[in-house]
Amino acid sequence: MIIARAFLIYLILSVVTLASCGTQSPGHITQTTSSFDGSKQLIMEPAWLYSSIIKLALFKSSKMPNEKLILTAVVRGSHIFDDDPSLHFNIDGETLSLSSVDRLRDIGTSEGFTGSGFYVAPSNWSSKDYLVDVSLIEKIIAAEDVYVTVELTDSYAEGIFSNDAPITARQAFKDFLKQI
């Protein structure tokens, strides 16, 4: 009985450990090929803006025009994005506002995590997609000071893009552009 219980505990811990290893880190880039039509997709996991509850992600499909890609703004929590334009960039003092291609926003839930003596609670994430030119991504990467604001119906979220700290969006965007 004790051996069976110990084995069960070992099995449960192994499954939990393996499941937590399957999550992608912020900014991780994956390339896939469709079995259906052979199209290729380049997908960047949402990466953090410095000192913010905002993450940004990129998506590119071989079916899209060469100069276009999808920029996804993700905000921690269950929020309703304000009417368009809802995503704003301050690029070296120049303001640029973007309107979403989504009529509705997505809300997802991330799993919690327990490990190495700490606990990260599950959380909700709200997101919207924006169709942008590759030249905009090149511009915000090259700029010295880039600040981002997401307008929500009851508040707003801000973050700093122009920071190359680990797991931040700027470095992930650089890596993404190298692969398209």
pLDDT cut 70: percent of the chain above it: 83
Q: Quote the pLDDT of residue 105.
A: 56
pTM of structure: 0.81
- E strands, the chain, in order: 29-33, 40-44, 47-48, 54-61, 68-76, 87-91, 94-98, 106-110, 113-115, 118-120, 123-133, 146-151, 156-160
User: Alpha-carbon distance 12 to 42, whole Å?
Assistant: 34
Q: Quote the pLDDT of residue 72.
A: 98
| Greatest mean pLDDT range, 11-25, 73-87, 100-114 | 73-87
120 pLDDT tier (thresholds 50, 70, 90): low
* 3-class state of residue 170 by DSSP: helix
14 pLDDT tier (thresholds 50, 70, 90): very low
Contact 33, 51 (CB under 8 A): no
Contact 30, 43 (CB under 8 A): yes
Contact 26, 167 (CB under 8 A): yes
In this predicted structure, the answer to whether residue 19 has a pLDDT above a threshold of 70 is no
Cα separation values, 110 from 68, 86, 120, 122, 155, Å? 28, 23, 10, 5, 22
In this predicted structure, the answer to whether residue 133 has a pLDDT above a threshold of 90 is yes
Tell me which of 119 and 23 has the higher pLDDT.
119
134-142 vs 169-179: helix crossing angle, rounded to 10: 130
Q: Quote the pLDDT of residue 137.
A: 99
106 pLDDT tier (thresholds 50, 70, 90): low
Q: Quote the pLDDT of residue 13.
A: 35
DSSP of 57-84, one letter per residue?
EEEEETTS-TTEEEEEEEEESS--BPSS
